[in-house]
Amino acid sequence: MDWSAAVAEIRSGNECGVEALYAAVSDCARGQLFHSVDPQAVDDHVQEILMIVQEAIRSGELRDPHCLMGFVRTVTRRQVAVHIRAMILRRRRLISVESTAAPVAPSHESPEARLAIRERIAVVGRILGRLCPRDREILVRFYYDEQESQQICREMELTATQFRLYKSRALAKCGDLTHHTRRIQSTSPLRIA
């Protein structure tokens, strides 16, 4: 179709040109819009595209009337891209609002995790209680209090070799006691309180 007459009518303000343009925009843009936007919003997007094309014709941005349908397709693609970007931003905001709306306690702060930690602490306490006082003091000061080995050696009057030897033997004893405790727990029947 020769769009020169329709473009001239639109520039002059004649509504017949706008009707022809609307029919062409509707035919050209609807197919692409149906694949990209909500079907209920297709008519709104067709109207937006029509307004953009009309404004471009009236302002003289469209120089060659024979390129009108190519211009309509370009405007349609750009409107689809704008719509997709807006949906992505909306989803991001929705996700961030949903993730901050219902704060979830970290898994290590759950009642089950706190109970498990308390049980481990009790087991470690029982195992440490079965060590000789010197070995217990070495392990507590080194691992729990995070004291330097030189400080422990100086204050407990140990050589570096004695410290390493006592510490490794104490750890081995703890490993044996842990293994023994687990073996007993796995063989004992469940007690229901």
**In the prediction, which pLDDT does 192 show?**
45
Write down the domain spans for the chain.
Answer: 4-101, 107-187
Residue 123 burial (CB < 10 Å; 0-12/13-18/19+)? middle
CB 180 within 8 A of CB 191: no
Helix axes 111-129, 160-187, angle to 10 degrees: 120
CATH number at 107-187: 1.10.10.10
**In the prediction, which pLDDT does 31 show?**
80
**In the prediction, which pLDDT does 193 show?**
42
**In the prediction, which pLDDT does 20 show?**
84
Phi, psi of 163 (to 5 degrees): -55, -50
Q: Give the integer Cα–Cα distance in Å for 42 and 32.
A: 10
Phi, psi of 108 (to 5 degrees): -75, -10
CATH number at 4-101: 1.10.1740
Q: What is the pLDDT along the chain (193 residues), one digit of tens a residue?
A: 678 888 888 888 877 888 888 888 888 888 888 888 877 888 888 899 889 999 998 888 888 888 888 888 999 999 888 888 888 888 888 776 555 555 565 666 778 888 888 888 888 888 888 889 999 999 889 888 888 989 999 999 999 888 888 888 888 888 888 777 666 666 655 544 4
